[in-house]
């Protein structure tokens, strides 16, 4: 039997209309439910129960939970900075697949830094990476991650040195680990060591996000160094002339500077009327402590320039 053209046309039109209508209605439903009911929830919080329920397909489930953890961190990083479920999500992920190395490497970076850059839970990060080391004792990067958390977030150079040393004894360990283990001996909170740590991170990672993050931290350390150096030059100028410099030209004429100083992204530093040093484009220099323009508010999520 030949299909009736009228029925075909009517059914096609209705199909398209209903498809559009259902999309619009769903949008309205989402608007109504927004924030009231769509809260983050862990319906099954037991990693062991989830592993059993995966029927052996735990690798895929771990990938799903890792993606959930990444999305959770990203979402809360950009909004409220609350990370209650981050540690449980990472525990589930790594229980389902203890060999999922990105979950330890990035997970410790999500957990350990102070808010707003991270969840401010360095002890949870240590637990996570220790678990990773127990299941992947031949992965030197995990020892590096552990030492990094101990030194940068827990200010414990002794434990950091121990982690770097353990890692450096692995057959394919990166030479950075031996250097860092030695460096930890006399280092507590100095900029040189911090630069070394970020330098090691930059050199040893193949991930573009990790490298961009390390590069941004290295630039921020450079700005801190530059601002400190320029502050002391200004103080010396004031001491000899008895007045504050009105511009960098005064410092150049006084032979204290060879030229206009530039920041790590190539912009000249600004010298304000009250004698403060500022960067011109602070958005492109996330993580700086010094040199921020007065009243500057950093974006919630720093933009990392990828290589």
Partner 1 sequence: MSPRIFNIASNTFREAVRDRVLYNLIAFALLMSGAAIFVGQISIGIERLVVINLGLTAVSLFGIVIAIFIGIALVSKEIDRRTLYTILSRPVRRWEFIAGKFLGLAGTLTVNTAFMALGVFAALFYVSHKFEQSDVWILVALYFIILQFVIVTALALLFSSFSSPLLSAVFAFSLFVIGSFAEDLRGFAAMTHGPQGWLATAAAYVVPNFSALNIISSVAHGEAVAGRLILYNTAYALTYVLMALCGSVLIFERRNLK
Q: Which residues bind partner 1 (CB under 8 A)?
A: 52, 55-60, 62-63, 66-67, 70-71, 97, 99-102, 105-106, 207, 209
Our CB check for partner 1 shows the closer of 63 and 278 to be 63
The least CB distance from residue 62 to partner 1, in Å, is: 8
92 or 288, CB closer to partner 1? Answer: 92
Q: How far is the CB of 52 from partner 1 (least distance, A)?
A: 7
Q: Cα angle vertex 119, ends 205, 135, to 5°?
A: 55
| Cβ-based neighbours of 156, under 8 Å, separated by 6 or more | 150
CB of 248 to partner 1, least distance (A): 42
- Shortest reach from residue 196's CB to partner 1, in Å: 24
Residues 142 and 132 sit within 8 Å (Cβ to Cβ): yes
Question: What's CA 278's distance to the chain center, in Å?
Answer: 24
Q: Of 105 and 224, which CB lies nearer to partner 1 in the complex structure?
A: 105
CB of 24 to partner 1, least distance (A): 24
What Cα–Cα distance (Å) separates residue 286 from each residue in 17, 94, 223, 299?
Answer: 48, 30, 11, 9
- Say if residue 116 is preceded by a cis peptide, omega within 30 of 0: yes
Q: Which is nearer to partner 1, 65 or 248 (CB)?
A: 65
Nearer to partner 1, 101 or 257 (CB): 101
d(C-alpha 269, C-alpha 107), whole Å: 36
Beta strands in the chain (DSSP E): 270-271, 277-278
Q: How far is the CB of 154 from partner 1 (least distance, A)?
A: 24
Q: Of 70 and 290, which has the nearer Cβ to partner 1?
A: 70
If the CB atoms of residues 92 and 285 are measured against partner 1, the closer one turns out to be: 92
Contact (CB, 8 A) for 106 and 70 = yes
Q: How far is the CB of 207 from partner 1 (least distance, A)?
A: 6
Q: What are phi and psi of 268, to 5 degrees?
A: -70, 140
Shortest Cβ distance from residue 71 to partner 1 (Å)? Answer: 6
Identity of the residue, 140 or 248, whose beta carbon is nearer to partner 1 in the bound complex:
140
**Does residue 253 contact residue 259 with C-beta atoms inside 8 Å?**
no
3-class secondary-structure state, position 285: coil
Q: For residue 287, which of 305, 270, 274 has the smallest C-alpha distance?
A: 305
Pairwise CA distance, residues 164 & 144, whole Å: 6
Between CA 133 and CA 25 the distance in angstroms is 49
């Amino acid at each position: 039997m030949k299909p009736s053209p009228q029925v075909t046309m009517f059914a096609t039109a209705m199909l398209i209309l209903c498809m559009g209508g259902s999309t619009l209605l769903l949008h309205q439903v989402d608007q109504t439910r927004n924030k009231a009911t769509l809260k983050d929830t862990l319906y099954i919080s037991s990693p062991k129960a989830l592993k059993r329920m995966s029927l052996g397909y735990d690798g895929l489930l771990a990938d799903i939970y890792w993606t959930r953890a990444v999305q959770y961190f990203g979402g809360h990083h950009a909004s409220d900075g609350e990370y209650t479920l981050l540690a449980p999500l990472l525990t589930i992920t790594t229980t389902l697949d203890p060999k999922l190395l990105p979950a330890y490497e990035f997970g410790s970076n999500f957990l350990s830094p102070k808010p707003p850059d991270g969840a401010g839970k360095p002890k949870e990060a240590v637990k996570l990476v220790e678990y990773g080391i127990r299941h992947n004792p031949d992965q030197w990067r995990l020892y590096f991650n552990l030492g990094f958390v101990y030194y940068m977030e827990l200010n414990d150079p002794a434990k950091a040195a121990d982690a770097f040393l353990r890692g450096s004894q692995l057959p394919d360990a990166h030479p950075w680990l031996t250097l860092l283990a030695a460096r930890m001996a006399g280092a507590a909170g100095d900029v040189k060591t911090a630069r070394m740590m970020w330098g090691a991170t930059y050199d040893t990672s193949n991930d573009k996000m990790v490298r961009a993050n390390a590069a941004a931290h290295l630039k921020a350390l450079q700005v801190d160094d530059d601002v400190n150096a320029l502050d002391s030059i200004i103080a010396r100028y004031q001491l000899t002339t008895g007045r504050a410099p009105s511009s960098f030209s005064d410092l150049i004429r006084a032979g204290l500077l060879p030229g206009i100083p530039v920041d790590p992204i190539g912009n000249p530093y600004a010298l304000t009327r009250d004698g403060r040093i500022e960067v011109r484009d602070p958005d492109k220099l996330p993580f700086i402590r010094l040199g921020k323009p007065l009243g500057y508010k950093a974006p919630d999520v720093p933009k990392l320039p990828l290589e």
